[in-house]
Amino acid sequence: MNFFCVFFLVTIFFLGCSNDNEEDYFSNNDCNSENVNYLPTVRDIIESKCSDCHAQGNSNGLPLLNSYENINSDINNIIYRINHPDNNLIMPPLGAIPLSDCEIMQIQNWYENEMPI
């Protein structure tokens, strides 16, 4: 191969490599954290990321997060735990699928806007 072909292939290879993942790339652009309501946004986040441990029928002693009322009664604890990842009581626990930055912002903004349904 001539020099220009090798140069072109090496350039394409290095331009295609990056440390970013798809969620990081799209999270800032596609995150709608304004005017967040419980239905469907917060409920969907809780169901997809929290219901494995915080659902009816789990005998793990964790608070139930299966309704607006249950989330409302535990909201201060939820907000604290999702915003303090260095705490031993992080939510979700290590090994579970973590909340994205967008999901954390959505829950935080929902809380700050008095948790509209």
pLDDT in tens, 60-100: 778 899 999 999 999 998 998 888 866 666 677 777 888 99
In a domain, 88, yes or no: yes
Residue 21 is assigned to a structural domain of this protein: no
Q: Residues 20, 50: contact at Cβ < 8 Å?
A: no
Q: Give a yes or no: residue 28 inside a domain.
A: no
Name the nearest CA neighbour of 66 among 81, 51, 82, 84: 51
Number of folded domains that form the chain: 1
What domain range includes position 74?
A: 37-117
> CA-CA distances (angstroms) from residue 64 to 33, 43, 103?
24, 13, 19
Q: Determine, yes or no, domain membership for 111.
A: yes
Is 15 inside any structural domain? no
Instruction: Tell me whether residue 117 is in a domain.
Output: yes
Give tens-digit pLDDT for 8-46. Answer: 554 554 444 444 444 444 445 689 999 999 999 999 999
- Rounded to 10 degrees, what is the CA torsion of 82, 99, 47, 96? -100
22 within a domain of the structure (yes/no)? no
